[in-house]
Amino acid sequence: MTFFPKGEVHLHLRGAAPKEYFLAQITKYLGRKDLFQPFSSTLQNRLFSSRFAGPILKELLSPGIASPEEILNQLFSYSSFDQFLESYITTASLVRSAEDFSRLLSQTKASLRQQGYRFCEVTVSLSEYLMMGIPLLSLLEQLVLSRSSSKEPYLLFTLDPVRNFGALAAENLLQDILQYSSEVFSAVTIGGDETNFPGEDFAHFFSLARESGLKISIHSGETCGPAEMWRVIERISPDRIGHGVRAAEDPKLLEYLAERQIPLEVCISSNLRTGVFPALHAVPLQQIVGAGIPVTLNTDDPTFFATTLENEFELAQSLCPELTQEDLCKLNFEASFLPNDLRERLLRTP
């Protein structure tokens, strides 16, 4: 049998946690009146902007929903990016202690190991756990422990300060982390509400990260179009772009990305579930690959989107039949932030 190593570069920690983790956390905290109300009014305005209708929070807090299973089903029910983002941020309220965070890490890594991953670049929305009152030092210590484990998959952590908290908060968080260690994270990105918190506002944050030796990715070209991507490229010069699929709307942008060989972190199921594209045939993967742009295939938040990396490969091959499984596996490794020697070893060794 041909050996194809498995790895991905765009995977959010809480988004990859097994459903059993969420069910256990809901059961653990169900009696608390503030289960899904940990947010101050000011913070709530930043996390759940006025564009969000709030159906998930209202449903979760309504008296008609009682069992953990029903709450879990509501958490994973959405039809737009806004609803997904609201659901995702809401699940942060289920991680309330250093012990909760430790189990989140260990159960997620165990799940990835069971799925056969060799490596994963895992994005950690650290601000959301700080919001829940978990000390920064405790979070960083748990991340170091998870990385130091000899069990596969090999993990690289990407810091996401979450753009909804603002650029100054992102800069302050990064400086606090660097005072502890420059080796907890390998890269930085920003996720969240791309429309209300544009990427260029975080240029100084990314500059600080680059000066500290961290690689740069940024969520862009997901809910916003090419104009926002151009601003991000000009102000931030990312090493990779998270999603980036809206680049297909601008031939000059496609040409630029191909010329500079800037990889895109494509997440097909994610884009379908959040309504970025109405159907699979509308995903412009063929246009992007045909332009000569490096792409990676990723699950993004596989538990939220009910997908696997194998499923993402199948979707990609249905759009681009010329891409083989070997091609797709290698693309994920080649665009990764793995050290060169480790990349080569993982590619060669079953």
Q: Which of 247, 234, 125 is nearest to 190 (CA)?
A: 125
Spell out the alpha helix ranges (H) of 192-225.
Answer: 203-211
Which residue bears the tokens 């709307």? Answer: 249
Q: How far is CA 205 from CA 89, 128, 163, 188, 282, in A?
A: 22, 18, 11, 9, 34
Q: CB-based burial of residue 225 (10 Å sphere; 0-12 exposed, 13-18 middle, 19+ buried)?
A: middle
- Check if the beta carbon of residue 264 is closer than 8 Å to that of residue 288: yes
Kindly state the tokens that stand for 102: 């430790």
- Check if the beta carbon of residue 144 is closer than 8 Å to that of residue 177: no
What does DSSP say about strands 154-159 and 240-243: parallel, antiparallel, or unpaired? unpaired
Catalytic annotation, pick one of 86, 128, 222, 265 = 222
- For residue 30, the 8-state DSSP code is T
Rg (CA), the chain: 19
Q: Has 222 been annotated as catalytic?
A: yes
- Check if the beta carbon of residue 161 is closer than 8 Å to that of residue 128: no
Which residue bears the tokens 């070997």? Answer: 326
Helix (H) or strand (E) holding 9: strand 7-12
Kindly state the tokens that stand for 106: 């260990």
What is the longest distance spanned by two Cα atoms in the chain?
56
Paired with 218 in beta bridges are 241
What spatial distance separates the first Cα and last Cα of the chain, rounded to whole Å? 11
> Residue 311: CB partners within 8 Å, gap ≥ 6?
269
Q: Which of 163, 240, 174 is nearest to 200 (CA)?
A: 163
Q: CB-based burial of residue 342 (10 Å sphere; 0-12 exposed, 13-18 middle, 19+ buried)?
A: middle
Q: Which residues are catalytic?
A: 222
